[in-house]
Amino acid sequence: MTATAPPRRAPEAGPSSGKSAAGRRLRPRIVERLRQGGLPYLLLLPAVLAELLIHIVPMFFGILISFKNLTLFYIHHWNSAPWAGFDNYKAAVKIHQPIGEALLHSFWVTLSYTLLSVALSWLLGSAAAILLQDKFRGRGLIRTLFLVPYALPAYAALITWTFMFQQDTGLVNHVLHDQLHLTSSKSFWLIGDNSFWAMVIVSVWKSWPFAFLALMAGLQNIPRELYEAAAMDGAGVWQQIRKITMPSLRPVNQVIVLVLFLWTFNDFNTPFVMFGQNPPHQADLISIHIYQSSFINWNFGSGSAMSVLLLLFLLVVTAIYLLVTSRGRSENDV
């Protein structure tokens, strides 16, 4: 990322430092040294403090309270909440009891949702980026329009989709039932099995422009000479896409698939805006599941234990993913 800068001179203590008796000179020298060597730390300090307060401390605090029996009763004096040991974790992983069973169900829903959404978003993003690689009339306009879902605030877009999925008044049923006559009656989209698919469609609509954006940038880095040479050798457009474009995009693909996976797996907005605090069973994504068990049932200990398990899962997946996808790539690729 930023490793390209030339090496910097080590901070110097000033010309006068070496010669005189140590005692009296020592203090100014240290101050001077601190001032020079400390400057980068000083520059970073505000950002570090903000990150500590909002991300790092809460994360460790979250791990701590996952071992506590923290209910609404203790919310104003959390440290007097009784210790629970591993009880919260045990409850979360006992898959034959209600809490564990619901969590496992939510996990599978989230995993299917994420895999489908990421795959489709990547597919659409790649297709659009590759098809817009060459100049033609209207290209700039199309590119701008494709970015609209990315620019819209998530909740505004989600509310619109919710309206489109309404049973009586929505566009989706109007097209499927009234215009195309594909369904025998107007189906429900926001409850039951359909709610899962409705959520996937909306998620793809929101995420694919990001893949498009990143891939478009990745395409800029492919040297034109490669295409010219291939064309001289008689390779057609399709062959060029297969033999040059796709392999060159590998590093970008590695990043965007991971980023999309993590975003989608942690997605809260989509179910929350579409279904409210009680999503249908088929659309019970893990973020909202944890939210519910924490803020609706007021059991922070249990909610935190689930969050920690979620974090561990994501860390393991990320590590495995990076190991597998980085294998066989030269080191300076990364």
Partner 1 sequence: MSRFTEQPSPMAQPKSFLWTRRVVLTLLLTFVLVPVYVMLSSSLKSLQDVQGSFKWIPHSLTFKPYVDIWKTIPLAHYFVNSVIVCVSATVFSVALAIFAAYGVSRYRFMGRKVFTVTVLSTQMFPGILFLLPLYLIFVNIGNSTGITLNGSRLGLIITYLTFSLPFSIWMLAGYFDSIPRDLDEAAKVDGCGPLGALFRVVVPAAVPGIVAVSVYAFMTAWGEVLFASVMTNESTRTLAVGLREYATQNDVYWNQVMAASIVVSLPVVAGFLLLQRYLVAGLTAGAVK
244 contacts 219 by C-beta, under 8 angstroms: no
Q: Which is nearer to partner 1, 149 or 280 (CB)?
A: 149
Q: Taking the complex as a whole, how short is the minimal distance between the CB of residue 155 and partner 1, in angstroms?
A: 5
* Residues contacting residue 116 through CB under 8 Å, at least 6 positions apart: 200
Q: Which is nearer to partner 1, 28 or 236 (CB)?
A: 236
Site of tokens 């570090």: 48
Site of tokens 């994504």: 285
Helices assigned H by DSSP within the chain = 22-51, 57-65, 87-93, 98-131, 139-146, 148-151, 154-164, 171-173, 194-220, 224-232, 237-240, 246-248, 250-265, 269-275, 286-291, 300-326
Site of tokens 């993913």: 321
Q: Taking the complex as a whole, how short is the minimal distance between the CB of residue 114 and partner 1, in angstroms?
A: 12
Site of tokens 């393991």: 316
Q: Which is nearer to partner 1, 20 or 127 (CB)?
A: 127
Q: Which is nearer to partner 1, 112 or 318 (CB)?
A: 318
Q: Taking the complex as a whole, how short is the minimal distance between the CB of residue 23 and partner 1, in angstroms?
A: 28
- Distance CA(33)–CA(61), nearest Å, equals 36
Q: Taking the complex as a whole, how short is the minimal distance between the CB of residue 194 and partner 1, in angstroms?
A: 17
Q: Which is nearer to partner 1, 196 or 307 (CB)?
A: 307
Q: Taking the complex as a whole, how short is the minimal distance between the CB of residue 149 and partner 1, in angstroms?
A: 6
